Structure 1
């Protein structure tokens, strides 16, 4: 019988003589079972034939796939020879490698997955280029934990020595951190005794310091984060002079971990007298007697950049600045108190100023405002500078409202960057605008004070229009307003906030008339401005045309006290970079 004549050729169950009972609970009789077995002889034969054919075809297919893989590998192997990356000259490849070095943190570490070590693991050519490129190896971060074994310390020293030798004769940037955690505080007691662990830790520190000293004549930038005892060892084992060192950053690991020791002078102090070319000095978490930093034995007249992260009275700040006539950049944490600065310092080269102020004074709101104004104004009145390009000022005092612009005596005509984190009253902010005509970048963080947000009147003064053809800040390129507060108090009128219309008009006029590049606005809470469809369309077009625009509103979680979600505990909560701790919803 031909296949076409066979009613079972389609192998469909509805063509089966048993179709009426297939899929039911029918129990076949003896006669039906016999007929069923006879009926399945041909299908089983056909199934066996197909399985044999499939095995044959799979064998053929496997052979074909294997040949395809071989030919593909053959082609790719030859194509690799013609790969464009092979045509890159070694000096160009070396420059690419250098551009891959980390910038934050500044110092490369001994991480096999990061530059420069990763380039030594790709192929022989890349390894040779990397190893023979000194600029890849003239910066290094070293960490020496107190519990490190002698053998592990020896390996670390060998690796660091090899790394620095590859730098050739280039100046070196070194970050050396030693842990101040006592070994016995967490090592198993049976492993080692306290006295042995202390001796081993000190021996390791001495060995590491000695291994660095052959390169000390090339030290250009050094960051030392050590305990007072380790600083003492560093002083003892270091040479009498660091002839090339221009930048020093120090931090006391003891203070960082809560151990405070009494010293007549800071443990790092003797190092300063050995650095004749020192220009940049940053002191972080270091105790100085009576906070007389200006008495440290360095060549202060050479210092051009200084950052001291310790609470200093204004008179202490002026005492330092009086010793640094060529200073270009300053950063101070200022504690306002009873002392009022009076000595005037002339800093003709000062281009960058970072000040953060706080006070522990207990007083009423108005008295606190007057106190702040008197103290800060007295300090800024003592600083005579005409070339200031960047000003960063922050004050996180509760209840304080700054009613008067505190920098009225500073010469800010050349200022290009202004970062403020303080609650300015509207008239103070207006004065700020008028005193900084050449501003390019502006960041304003109102820091959770709901009474005085950025207002329409401020944006209007910055907006090009027929009535205002010459607005303030004509060179403005970047504006960033964070924690913009919209108070829940409905008694505050809409005129005390920034409307959607004024913001849209400002951005549109700036995009048409100036080179505004970025705008970040973070509204803190409801009610936030309501944008119309037309305004949203304008803002979207501005964004599509190249304006880097982000408008967000902070939102609180629905149940902040009892967060609950399917993935809670698996991953940490994710927040927008603009949103602080409570998240944000994007408006644009």
Structure 2
């Protein structure tokens, strides 16, 4: 459409009075056309609305009938039950929540609810949390929640038929007068099902466990694993762990305990039947601790061990009995050792008297008194076929680390090296540097490099080697996985050089600290300052 004002459109031009009258006359016909078009659009929209409603009615009719022939309605009952069981978490017990299976399965429809309630396996795993009451809350509200938990626990486990049970009880410790009574109620609710306990986890006070001390080994014939995390209370100094008769269950093969009021040697366990053992004491000054000598006694009682985790505390004056007969652990596959105190004493006393020819996985952690003269030869001799190693760098000096790596068995496939988040070492005393990395790098100068079969290397927070040294190391080996967490900035981007290896199957994960973001905001200090870092 042409207009004598075309050159003025879209500008800031202000027309004269005569021009305003001309513009109004010019717009009379277009305004009439717009009105006709609006009427047509309204009619079409009304017709479209009618068609949309008709389509929705037909869609609902079709969907309702298609639902009748849906394949899921024709699934056999046993298939639906297996699907429901597959929804149950396998890495933990089920929570008392409508967001978690099996409860959520019964909220889809009435038939699914009937199926879930009639499938005992769905209700054989349960995590029970003690309700807590803030100091400013009414006791009545807390007691109502407790009663609800008790009723749910009884109903839940009552649906489990004759299935073996996996139960975890999570208590808290506050100093309100009704705490112990609360925990006692919860653990008492589990007693009617003791004959079907299979995997039990207790995070509670010893005084609560003492309330079920009347249980005997005969009362828990199906019990296979027990995990106890003791919440410390001052009155537990004289805790009688030997009174817990249920720990003598004949089928118990896995035992985990963490606390500070027990003596490991007094625990009433059938040690000879254990295949998995974990003792992680909360060490306190003057309290009981597990020494190397006591660890040897435990090992001698557990000839069937497959995996073991211990916290060992040896002092500077711990007596040594090197030269005693060698204790053989023919089935031990995994050893996780945390050392507190004098590492050299632990290594000398423990490993010089042990032999575990089947050990494949070894983890060495701790906060030990540093000793540059510590020798790892006893361990290296005791574990000739180790495949994976996980160590803390704090336990080594540079010479001892180099010697340790050189002495590792050729069967080693994986090495993980970590450093505590809080750096205890002085600045400039980093250990894992270019020289250490070079000892793992095959070269013409090294006829037999350390760990010739190495496939996986992971280093976390203790990387003082250069990017160039890392590049040479990776290119010189046929590795499957390399994970490096640097605490310094990138010096050289080596990933383009390694792209062919990545394309051939190498999993490469190199992470550097993010660059610092400088902010120069004129809003700083004002309550309504924008969040954008660009301001």
* Both structures adopt the same fold (TM-score exceeding 0.5): yes
Which residue is equivalent to 1:278?
A: 252
Is 1:161 aligned to residue 158 of structure 2?
A: no
Cα distance change of structure 1 residues 23 and 557 upon mapping to structure 2, 3 Å threshold:
closer
Q: Distance in 1 between matches of 2:459 and 2:221?
A: 45
SS at match of 2:174: coil
Is 1:346 aligned to residue 328 of structure 2?
A: yes
SS at match of 1:114: coil
Q: Distance in 1 between matches of 2:516 and 2:493?
A: 23
Q: Distance in 2 between matches of 1:317 and 1:401?
A: 24
Q: Distance in 1 between matches of 2:27 and 2:37?
A: 15
Could you tell me whether the CA contact under 8 Å between 1:284 and 1:308 is conserved in 2?
yes
Could you tell me whether the CA contact under 8 Å between 2:348 and 2:378 is conserved in 1?
yes
Cα distance change of structure 1 residues 545 and 315 upon mapping to structure 2, 3 Å threshold:
same
How far is the alpha carbon of 1:174 from its aligned partner? 0.7
How far is the alpha carbon of 1:240 from its aligned partner? 6.5
Which residue is equivalent to 2:238?
A: 264
How far is the alpha carbon of 1:287 from its aligned partner? 0.8
Could you tell me whether the CA contact under 8 Å between 1:391 and 1:417 is conserved in 2?
yes
1:523 pairs, out of 486, 489, 511, with: 486
Could you tell me whether the CA contact under 8 Å between 1:395 and 1:422 is conserved in 2?
no
Cα distance change of structure 1 residues 93 and 400 upon mapping to structure 2, 3 Å threshold:
farther
Cα distance change of structure 1 residues 352 and 19 upon mapping to structure 2, 3 Å threshold:
closer
Bigger mean CA offset, 93-102 vs 411-420: 93-102
Could you tell me whether the CA contact under 8 Å between 2:312 and 2:337 is conserved in 1?
yes
Could you tell me whether the CA contact under 8 Å between 1:521 and 1:551 is conserved in 2?
yes
How far is the alpha carbon of 1:519 from its aligned partner? 1.8
Deviations 1:390-423 (A, max 9, x none): 2110134586657643644542222222111134
Cα distance change of structure 1 residues 33 and 499 upon mapping to structure 2, 3 Å threshold:
closer
Cα distance change of structure 1 residues 113 and 16 upon mapping to structure 2, 3 Å threshold:
same
Cα distance change of structure 1 residues 313 and 267 upon mapping to structure 2, 3 Å threshold:
closer
User: How do residues 62-461 of structure 1 correspond to structure 2 at under 5 angstroms?
Assistant: 62-77=49-64, 80=67, 90-104=77-91, 106-124=92-110, 126-147=112-133, 149-183=142-176, 198=178, 201=179, 204-235=182-213, 241-253=219-231, 255=232, 259-266=233-240, 269-272=243-246, 274-288=248-262, 292-310=263-281, 311=283, 312-337=290-315, 338-342=317-321, 345-359=327-341, 372-397=343-368, 404-405=375-376, 407-408=378-379, 410-423=381-394, 424=396, 425=398, 428-447=401-420, 450-453=429-432, 455=434, 461=440
Which residue is equivalent to 2:38?
A: 51
How far is the alpha carbon of 1:69 from its aligned partner? 3.3
Could you tell me whether the CA contact under 8 Å between 1:391 and 1:419 is conserved in 2?
yes
Could you tell me whether the CA contact under 8 Å between 1:138 and 1:173 is conserved in 2?
yes
How far is the alpha carbon of 1:175 from its aligned partner? 0.3
User: How do residues 29-48 of structure 1 correspond to structure 2 at under 5 angstroms?
Assistant: 41-48=28-35
Q: Distance in 2 between matches of 1:206 and 1:407?
A: 48
Aligned positions, number: 501
Which residue is equivalent to 1:6?
A: none
Q: Distance in 2 between matches of 1:71 and 1:402?
A: 85
Q: Distance in 2 between matches of 1:409 and 1:47?
A: 92
Cα distance change of structure 1 residues 110 and 353 upon mapping to structure 2, 3 Å threshold:
same
How far is the alpha carbon of 1:128 from its aligned partner? 4.5
Aligned-residue CA RMSD in angstroms?
Answer: 4.1
Which residue is equivalent to 2:511?
A: 552
Could you tell me whether the CA contact under 8 Å between 2:242 and 2:268 is conserved in 1?
no
How far is the alpha carbon of 1:339 from its aligned partner? 1.6
Bigger mean CA offset, 371-380 vs 471-480: 471-480
Which residue is equivalent to 1:580?
A: none
Cα distance change of structure 1 residues 219 and 394 upon mapping to structure 2, 3 Å threshold:
same
How far is the alpha carbon of 1:157 from its aligned partner? 2.2
Q: Distance in 2 between matches of 1:77 and 1:265?
A: 65
Q: Distance in 2 between matches of 1:467 and 1:84?
A: 68
Unaligned regions of 5+ residues in structure 2, if any? 134-140, 284-289
How far is the alpha carbon of 1:468 from its aligned partner? 7.8
Q: Distance in 2 between matches of 1:554 and 1:429?
A: 27
How far is the alpha carbon of 1:204 from its aligned partner? 4.3
Cα distance change of structure 1 residues 231 and 43 upon mapping to structure 2, 3 Å threshold:
same
Cα distance change of structure 1 residues 412 and 91 upon mapping to structure 2, 3 Å threshold:
farther
Could you tell me whether the CA contact under 8 Å between 1:456 and 1:498 is conserved in 2?
no
SS at match of 1:499: helix
Could you tell me whether the CA contact under 8 Å between 2:412 and 2:454 is conserved in 1?
yes
Name the TM-score, length of structure 2 as normaliser. 0.79
Cα distance change of structure 1 residues 267 and 427 upon mapping to structure 2, 3 Å threshold:
closer
Could you tell me whether the CA contact under 8 Å between 1:232 and 1:268 is conserved in 2?
no
Which residue is equivalent to 2:462?
A: 484
Deviations 1:510-547 (A, max 9, x none): 1xxxxx43221223325x56356xxx345223223332
User: How do residues 459-498 of structure 1 correspond to structure 2 at under 5 angstroms?
Assistant: 461=440, 463=442, 473=451, 476-486=454-464
